[in-house]
Structure 1
Amino acid sequence: MLTQLSIRDMVLIERLDLPFHPGLTVLTGETGAGKSILLDSLGLALGERAVSGVVRAGAEQAGVTACFDLSPDHPLHDLLREQGIGHEDGESVVLRRVVTRDGRSRATVNDQPASIGLLKRVGALLVEIQGQHEQMGLADPSIHLDLLDAFGVAPALRKRVRAAHADWVSARRALEEARAKVEEAAREEEWLRQSVQDLGELAPQQDEENQLAATRQSLQQGERRAEAIAAALAELTPRDRRNSGPGAALRAATRALQRLLPAPGTDAEEQQAADSAAVRAQAALDALDQAEAALGEAEALLSRLASDQDGDPRLLEQTEERLFALRAAARKHGVAVLELPALLAELRGRLDALDSGQARIGALEQAVAEARAAFVAECGALTATRTTAAKKLEAAVMAELKPLRLERARFIVQIEPLPPEGWTARGTEQAQFLIAANPGQPPGPLAKVASGGELSRLMLALKVVLAGRSAIPTLVFDEVDSGVGGATAASIGERLARVSDAVQVLVVTHSPQVAARGDHHLRIAKQVRAGRTETRAEPLDGTERREEIARMLAGEQITEAARAAADSLLASGAERLL
């Protein structure tokens, strides 16, 4: 409900802070005192259109702040979370609107910037305004079906209809997807079959690219090792081992040095002369023998190493061919190599869908027909219940019209079937509230047939019947008692009081009978201060309230008779609270 309305620099209002309470709050005051300014200010906070003329003379901008307390299950909580606006269930909701002198405006919800569209959506969940010149809420045909259901349809039945509709929608979606897949597959059947054949022959394996790349790298490294070993062996063991290579060189050097050794049969004198050179030559020969032995050992080691490196010389070529074939296929289909197995499975699935699609579509069509039949059956029960509820709602509203001086009017709840394409989770029909204001007049939409005063009273009658069945916590009636008096005004006041037992009600009234029914009373008046006219609002209680109602009865000259009549009205209003 609305708990606080703060207004700054709005037309004749410089500064005004108004608290509001549960129940029925009446706003009274002489014509032109500024009651409409309060309603216009509230409308701005709720997202209504802003104009530059609302800014008070001498001010640069006007501002309005409206605070609301809501029940934990109010639908606004979900909307705020959906919009990313910080809010905890149970916290107050604060709407602010600022309008500059050039007509531009900005809005916030809980101190976070909000578009005017969002502000209007929020406002529509918080306040419903019924006025002489503007009707909101009940005049909107789009909510009539929900109101009818809230009046006389069990929630369990509506829940079954929503569930049946969801099943039907799900079955239709599955059928549509299956048909789309078959149609797509049919358009590309030749390409699809060729792709499945090619990829099937290629038979890509999971993570095969990485494995092949690792094998390729290992084989390339082995090939480089084999080439190095072969080159080393070629140097050590050339083709003509007798005439070249290090072995031949060592043997030739050995033969040359052997000539330095004394020949057998050499005499003693020659032997003595040759001993010195022979000793050194023998050392060299020994080194050559060692070198030749080491060379032989190196040749043997390299030969064994070369034999260890032997393998299939085609293996590297085959590995590279496989790797390049996988990468070519991946480029062709625009995927990574590792995605090829999944792609093959998908293409096979699409091909299977083409081959067996018609059978599956037939089964899905049967499922859609069964889901539709179940939905229609549930809707048949819902329609019957709604038809009964509509008659009861018509009778209940008609019972309220006579005391509101609308005894000649006829209220009708029209239920019309919708074409299948218009069926929703709400059912297979739409509902609209119609009114025939006078005998012989054809019924028509609420907002088009009734006059402003008639429509306001009709809305009041509907609110009495539907009290507590709407999530909107605050109702505003602007001069719902216009053009009536006496018993009719008393009936209006009594019904406003009844509605306020379920929701917060604010009413702008010129009727003392209505004012006397209020739980709270605000008087709107003008005053001149420092040469400037200002609108002010003051809560009334006790004697002040009695004087205000007496003024409404008698005019400017308040008489004792008027005060006595005010006492009588106040006493009648107080009886409701006992």
Structure 2
Amino acid sequence: MLRRLSIRNVVLVERLDLDFEAGLGVLTGETGAGKSILLDALGLALGARAETSLVREGAERAEAVAEIEVAANHPAMTLLDDAGAEPEPGEALLLRRRVRADGGSSGQACGASVPAKVLRAAGDMLVEVHGQHADRGLLDAKAHRGMLDAFGQVDTTTIAATWGALSALRRERAALAEEIEAAKADREWLDHAIGEIEELSPQPGEEEELAGLRQQMKDAARIEDDLTDIEPLLSGSEGALSQMRQAARAFSRVSEVHEGLANALTAIDRAIIEADEAERQFAEARAELVHNPQVLDEAEERLFALRGLARKHRVEVEGLPALLGDLVKRRDAITTGDARLTELDGEIAKSEAAYRNLAAALTEQRKSAAKALDARVAEELEPLKLGAARFVTDITDAEPGPAGSDRVEFTISTNPGSPFGPLGKIASGGELSRFLLALRVALAEVGGAGTIIFDEIDRGVGGAVASAIGERLARLAEKHQVLVVTHSPQVAARASHHYRIAKSSDDGVTRTSVERLDDAARREEIARMLSGAAVTDEARAAAAKLMEAA
């Protein structure tokens, strides 16, 4: 619901902060007073085209701010949040727009900069504006199906899920078919690539193992002479270990003579133990560091083969086994994929049949809802002096989708025998406004924007028709906030709050002002609307009677 409209330097409005309430609000005033300026300012805040002509003469820029109260789960909250505005649940939305006199404009939502298209999209969800020349809600045929579904309580949840599953199957089939065709085109290459990898049969960790063996062989070749020299010094018959053992035997014969000799024998025994360990480790290392030219050649040959194959396929050596698996899978897809395609075709056919059944049932529900809506609108047309017109909800075939396969459009025929056509193309300005009112009243229960604005919906009518318009606006205001720019005293008398727009000149400067009227001022304004410039007592009495009757 629109709570406040703040305007700065828009045409004749220098500064204005206007508060609104729930129910039916009317804006009245003499012709040319500036009623359209308020709507232009609101449109600016809601993302309409920013015209430099809106900037007040002598001002650098114009600004309009709409404060709108919405529920935390309103779609506009999600829209603005996705746009980076981050609205706070429970707080009113502030939609701000500025236009400079030298061109250019900027928009904000909840203090964050947003494009005008975001303001417009949010505005379409929050405020409906119906006028003589433009409409962003009921005239949009793309929205008619949703309105009819809401009116007829048509549930599209099941068909949407079915459509989603069907679409997923179709995507899977298309991807599989593409994969199979690509595999068939590459079959010769696949066979060759798989063959050479299988022939080499790379194993996990093999590159590291071969590289280690290669390095070990090279190290063995480099120190082979040193190892040959070391062996007799350590283990030969004249080596250090043999001599220490001879010394130990000699010491054992004399160690009992002196304590020092015994200690020397103990030290020699420890040395022999360490020497034995050294001999053992030397023997093991010598066995591992055997230089075998044939083994080295074989290790290098395989290592280079693995690395060459990896470079060819642009993978690491460790990635060759996984690559082999992927290539085999692609080749297998040629033989197994056709079977899966056949299986998918069966699943798709079954899903398509289920979708068609749901869509057909949905069409029947919509046809039934359309008849009810047509009858509801027809009830509203006669009192609005549109008794010769007919309203028909046209349902035709459309491309299947998550909401079924129906195209819905509201059409009218203004005279007997005249063809039916879209609302905006068939009805004249005055007829269109009344048609929209009839349709809006019929759809009152299905929600829509929280604020509905009618701009001079009563133009060219009076008496009973104006009274009928006022009565329907009041009914609509029980479900929505309704604001009406009107010249009709019958409509104004129905208002729960009334604003008078006036224009004045001071020192050659013209300004538009807005005043909220109390009951006495309302009676005076309605009397003016009844009698013209000179307000008579009879007009005041008639105004009081209208207000009392409302």
The 8 Å contact of residues 187 and 331 in structure 2, kept in 1 or not, is answered as yes
Q: Is residue 439 of structure 1 aligned with residue 416 of structure 2?
A: yes
Q: How does 1:355-504 map to 2 (within 5 A)?
A: 355-418=335-398, 422-504=399-481
Q: How does 1:182-201 map to 2 (within 5 A)?
A: 182-201=180-199
Q: How does 1:141-156 map to 2 (within 5 A)?
A: 141-155=141-155
Q: How does 1:98-177 map to 2 (within 5 A)?
A: 98-155=98-155, 158-177=156-175
Shift of 1:177: 1.3
Q: Distance in 2 between matches of 1:469 and 1:6?
A: 30
Q: How does 1:76-95 map to 2 (within 5 A)?
A: 76-95=76-95
Shift of 1:117: 1.8
Q: How does 1:315-326 map to 2 (within 5 A)?
A: 315-326=295-306
Q: Distance in 2 between matches of 1:502 and 1:354?
A: 62
Q: Distance in 1 between matches of 2:397 and 2:282?
A: 97
Q: Using a 3 Å threshold, how does the CA distance of structure 1 residues 223 and 328 change in structure 2: closer, same or farther?
A: closer
Which amino acid counterpart does residue 482 of structure 2 have in structure 1? Answer: V
Counterpart for residue 8 of structure 1: 8
Q: Using a 3 Å threshold, how does the CA distance of structure 1 residues 473 and 205 change in structure 2: closer, same or farther?
A: farther
Counterpart for residue 331 of structure 1: 311
2:519 to 538, 542, 551: 542
Q: Using a 3 Å threshold, how does the CA distance of structure 1 residues 68 and 336 change in structure 2: closer, same or farther?
A: farther
Q: Using a 3 Å threshold, how does the CA distance of structure 1 residues 57 and 312 change in structure 2: closer, same or farther?
A: same
Residues 8-34 of structure 1, C-alpha deviations (whole Å, 9 max, x = no match): 011111100111111111110001001
Q: Distance in 2 between matches of 1:177 and 1:523?
A: 65
Q: Using a 3 Å threshold, how does the CA distance of structure 1 residues 300 and 486 change in structure 2: closer, same or farther?
A: closer
Counterpart for residue 288 of structure 2: 309
Shift of 1:62: 0.6
2:502 to 525, 528, 531: 525
Shift of 1:70: 0.6
Residues 150-187 of structure 1, C-alpha deviations (whole Å, 9 max, x = no match): 111332xx111111111211111111111111111111
Q: Using a 3 Å threshold, how does the CA distance of structure 1 residues 407 and 233 change in structure 2: closer, same or farther?
A: same
Q: Using a 3 Å threshold, how does the CA distance of structure 1 residues 186 and 559 change in structure 2: closer, same or farther?
A: same
Counterpart for residue 212 of structure 1: 207
Residues 299-358 of structure 1, C-alpha deviations (whole Å, 9 max, x = no match): 989984774334473555444444433332232222333333332222211111101221
Q: Using a 3 Å threshold, how does the CA distance of structure 1 residues 323 and 568 change in structure 2: closer, same or farther?
A: farther
Q: Distance in 1 between matches of 2:151 and 2:279?
A: 105
Which amino acid counterpart does residue 399 of structure 1 have in structure 2? Answer: E
Q: Distance in 1 between matches of 2:139 and 2:207?
A: 74
Shift of 1:226: 5.6
Q: Distance in 1 between matches of 2:80 and 2:318?
A: 45
The 8 Å contact of residues 233 and 302 in structure 1, kept in 2 or not, is answered as no
Q: Distance in 2 between matches of 1:300 and 1:385?
A: 97
Shift of 1:229: 4.7
Which amino acid counterpart does residue 413 of structure 1 have in structure 2? Answer: T
The 8 Å contact of residues 456 and 486 in structure 2, kept in 1 or not, is answered as yes
Q: Distance in 2 between matches of 1:485 and 1:302?
A: 118
SS in 2 for 1:521: strand
The 8 Å contact of residues 207 and 318 in structure 2, kept in 1 or not, is answered as no
Shift of 1:528: 2.3
The 8 Å contact of residues 227 and 286 in structure 2, kept in 1 or not, is answered as no
Q: Using a 3 Å threshold, how does the CA distance of structure 1 residues 337 and 470 change in structure 2: closer, same or farther?
A: farther
Q: Distance in 1 between matches of 2:130 and 2:440?
A: 11
Q: Using a 3 Å threshold, how does the CA distance of structure 1 residues 497 and 327 change in structure 2: closer, same or farther?
A: farther
SS in 2 for 1:428: strand
Q: Using a 3 Å threshold, how does the CA distance of structure 1 residues 222 and 527 change in structure 2: closer, same or farther?
A: same
Q: Distance in 2 between matches of 1:427 and 1:500?
A: 33
Residues 454-508 of structure 1, C-alpha deviations (whole Å, 9 max, x = no match): 1111011111010141331111100000100011111111111111111111110
Q: Distance in 2 between matches of 1:171 and 1:89?
A: 39
Q: Is residue 38 of structure 1 aligned with residue 38 of structure 2?
A: yes
Structure with higher Rg: it is 1
The 8 Å contact of residues 409 and 438 in structure 1, kept in 2 or not, is answered as yes
Shift of 1:221: 4.6
Of residues 193-202 and 360-369 in structure 1, the stretch that sits farther from structure 2 once superposed is 193-202
Q: Distance in 1 between matches of 2:525 and 2:534?
A: 12
Counterpart for residue 493 of structure 2: 516
Of residues 336-345 and 516-525 in structure 1, the stretch that sits farther from structure 2 once superposed is 336-345
SS in 2 for 1:197: helix
Which amino acid counterpart does residue 230 of structure 1 have in structure 2? Answer: D
Residues 49-98 of structure 1, C-alpha deviations (whole Å, 9 max, x = no match): 12211111111111111111111221112212222321233332111111
1:202 to 187, 200, 206: 200
Residues 360-393 of structure 1, C-alpha deviations (whole Å, 9 max, x = no match): 1111011110000000001111111111111111
Shift of 1:146: 0.8
The 8 Å contact of residues 127 and 452 in structure 2, kept in 1 or not, is answered as yes
Shift of 1:222: 6.2
SS in 2 for 1:97: strand
Q: What percent of counterpart residues are identical?
A: 45
Which amino acid counterpart does residue 349 of structure 1 have in structure 2? Answer: K
SS in 2 for 1:90: coil
Which amino acid counterpart does residue 190 of structure 1 have in structure 2? Answer: E
Q: Using a 3 Å threshold, how does the CA distance of structure 1 residues 360 and 564 change in structure 2: closer, same or farther?
A: same
Which amino acid counterpart does residue 428 of structure 1 have in structure 2? Answer: S
Residues 245-285 of structure 1, C-alpha deviations (whole Å, 9 max, x = no match): x9xxxxxxxxxxxxxxxxxxxxxxxxxxxxxxxxxxxxxxx
Shift of 1:234: 5.1
Of residues 456-465 and 49-58 in structure 1, the stretch that sits farther from structure 2 once superposed is 49-58
Residues 399-428 of structure 1, C-alpha deviations (whole Å, 9 max, x = no match): 10011111110101111012xxx1111111
Could you list the runs of 5+ residues in structure 2 that have no partner in the other structure?
Answer: 234-238, 240-274
Q: Distance in 1 between matches of 2:389 and 2:134?
A: 21
SS in 2 for 1:495: helix
Q: Is residue 505 of structure 1 aligned with residue 482 of structure 2?
A: yes
Counterpart for residue 250 of structure 2: none
Of residues 86-95 and 380-389 in structure 1, the stretch that sits farther from structure 2 once superposed is 86-95
SS in 1 for 2:510: strand
Counterpart for residue 292 of structure 1: none
Q: Distance in 1 between matches of 2:529 and 2:281?
A: 124
Q: Distance in 1 between matches of 2:306 and 2:352?
A: 49
Which amino acid counterpart does residue 400 of structure 1 have in structure 2? Answer: E
Q: Using a 3 Å threshold, how does the CA distance of structure 1 residues 496 and 229 change in structure 2: closer, same or farther?
A: same
TM-score by length of 2: 0.88
